[in-house]
Amino acid sequence: MARVNEHYLKLTASYLFSEIARRVKAFQAAHPGAKIIRLGIGDVTQPLPPAVIAALHAAVDEMGRAATFRGYGPEPGYEFLAELIARHDYASRGVTVATDEIFVSDGAKSDTGNIQEIFAADCVIALTDPVYPVYLDSNVMAGRAGDAGADGRYDRVVYLPCVAENGFEPPLPERPVDLVYLCFPNNPTGAVLSRAALRRWVDWAREHGAVLLYDAAYEAYIRDTDVPHSIYEIEGARAVAIEFRSFSKTAGFTGTRCAFTVVPREVQGRDAAGAPVSLNALWLRRQSTKFNGVPYVVQRGAAAVYTDEGQKQVRALVDHYMDNARVIRDGLEAAGLRVYGGRNAPYIWVKTPPGLSSWDFFDKLLGEAHVVGTPGAGFGPSGEGYFRLTAFGQRGETQEAVERIKRRLAL
Ligand code: PLP
């Protein structure tokens, strides 16, 4: 019998969503008449923008004619899309990114999960806590995390607690680390990093020879004009940062699949002898070997996001979800809860009432308001005492959920 990769057996995180599903199912079975509203989902609910739909149709027609048919595409993506990304997402903010530094992919999940492959097995990683679980789990699978202790922490991972007391801003690591995963606007806390805070990270990484893995999947939700959308808005970041972006939460591509990762030419790792190695070259090699590229049709759909119409429609989508965020924030504050996030992010991070753990609050909300959210403890030990709601629900359901919480849970 083939021996398995035993690092997989050290994974603990899948417990969260299966446990939520189990509790919801048990509640529904006991209360068949209850209308449960799910505000725990991280998936969008609005349809694709019309400009994207038109582009997808046109691209499908191209595939049906011999003269315009496309087979295998370039693994890092078509130049037409990379050029639009470079111009609209970067040059418009005064940032220079070349098209051969942009790698179009099928998701920020895949890229943030796969990027660790180009680093050594003994690299030390640091993560914010709470965290989007993919960063941690992909390193557990690779054997880089060590073993989980009784407190849920892996012994080779450096955890950077993000809690109300530090404004959900990760502290700089106190011991040497090689890779740091940062996600801003943050899932799950909804926090953003100011320009000064991001500069501290870039300066620290330059000084310590670390690489920052910067997940900006939610940058379109930033409202404050002084919050950076890209880490490359910070001087010197090109030498130390890889940035991940996605069309998922911006243009509704969660089921259509398109994202991209920027690996600047300056950012380097080193080999065993200490000689510098281009991470751009390694990532190109990795993607060319293991990834087939995003379908032509889908890349045409993503390109339509950058048309005038597409930009307007995407802004309307984001505005729609941010209105949901406001409804949730205002409602929960009116119910006497302490609420964070939801101003520059589609996530609302709620402090659970005194004496209630994340799971206690989950049970209370489900039992009394028939609303499902996500217990903060599921995102890491420092998420205990918090609870995540998302702004991605249908408007009517979001309003109803908030009214129920106000009626049943007013403190
Ligand atoms: N990064 C973060 C922080 C996320 O929350 C998510 C999705 O929930 C993703 C990445 C996944 O993005 P994609 O749909 O592009 O794989």
**Structural domains of the chain, with CATH:** 7-47+311-410 (3.90.1150.10), 53-308 (3.40.640.10)
Q: What is the 3-state secondary structure (H, E, C) of 192-203?
A: CCCHHHHHHHHH
Structure tokens at 255: 């089921």
Cis peptide before 32 (omega within 30 of 0): no
User: pLDDT above 90 covers what percent of the chain?
Assistant: 94
What pLDDT, on a 0 to 100 scale, did the predictor assign at position 14? 61
Confidence of residue 13 (pLDDT cuts 50, 70, 90): low
Centre a 10 Å sphere on the Cβ of residue 37 and count the other Cβ atoms it contains.
Answer: 22
Amino acid letter at 218?
Y
What pLDDT, on a 0 to 100 scale, did the predictor assign at position 12? 82
Confidence of residue 150 (pLDDT cuts 50, 70, 90): confident
Confidence of residue 41 (pLDDT cuts 50, 70, 90): confident
Which H or E run includes 54? helix 50-63
Give tens-digit pLDDT for 267-292: 999 999 999 999 999 999 999 999 99
* Ligand 1 interacting residues, C-beta cut-off 6 A: 42, 107-109, 112, 132, 183, 187, 215, 217, 246, 248, 254, 259
What Cα–Cα distance (Å) separates residue 317 from each residue in 28, 191, 218, 380, 393?
Answer: 32, 20, 13, 30, 12
Expressed in angstroms and rounded, the spacing between residue 221 Cα and the centre of ligand 1 is 14
Closest-CA residue to 357 (of 334, 331, 387, 379): 387
Give the mean pLDDT of 32-51. Answer: 93
pLDDT above 90: residue 67? yes
From CA 167, how far away is CA 41, in angstroms rounded? 24
From CA 396, how far away is CA 35, in angstroms rounded? 13
Amino acid letter at 251?
A
Confidence of residue 411 (pLDDT cuts 50, 70, 90): low
Which H or E run includes 351? strand 347-351
Confidence of residue 18 (pLDDT cuts 50, 70, 90): confident
From CA 263, how far away is CA 279, in angstroms rounded? 7
pTM of the model: 0.97
Closest-CA residue to 308 (of 50, 60, 94): 50
What pLDDT, on a 0 to 100 scale, did the predictor assign at position 151? 84
Amino acid letter at 124?
V
Structure tokens at 302: 């993503």
Give the mean pLDDT of 232-261. Answer: 98
Q: Candidates 248, 294, 347: which one to mutate for ligand 1, based on the most atoms within 8 Å of Cβ? A: 248
User: What is the phi-psi region of residue 109: left when phi exceeds 0, alpha when psi lies from -120 to 50, beta otherwise?
Assistant: alpha
What pLDDT, on a 0 to 100 scale, did the predictor assign at position 383? 97
